[in-house]
Amino acid sequence: MPRFTKDHVFILPQAEEYRTFYNVNISDVLSCLNEPHHEGLATDHYTVEKTVNGSRLYVYYYLTLPLQGKKDEAYAIVDFIGLADENPSPQKHSLKK
């Protein structure tokens, strides 16, 4: 996979809202893109995951090449940013009578 710099990552508005909501730094997004613990390819986009500060960071993105640029240059268009607890505590269920 290509290495992405801040100048080569575009975060779509809906993903930016999730990034802000989950308080995820741009550096964490770049780290997840460049050094993921897990990566995959869905039907139309790439997925990467990485543990960051005890939580699981998910980034879904599209890979695109510039019309004019170096042959190894690529851009990531981030469509989704999610965060989940790595070890969620078990929920206590109460039964109503």
User: Nearest to residue 22, comparing CAs of 89, 80, 87?
Assistant: 80
Per residue in 4-48, pLDDT (tens digit) is 999 999 999 999 999 999 999 999 999 999 999 999 998 889 999
Q: How confident is the model at residue 96 (pLDDT cuts 50, 70, 90)?
A: very low
Per residue in 60-72, pLDDT (tens digit) is 999 998 777 677 7
Consecutive H or E run containing 30: helix 26-34
The half-sphere exposure of 34 on its side-chain side, counting CA atoms within 13 A, is 13
* Residue 60 Cα distances to 56, 82, 83, 86, angstroms: 13, 9, 12, 18
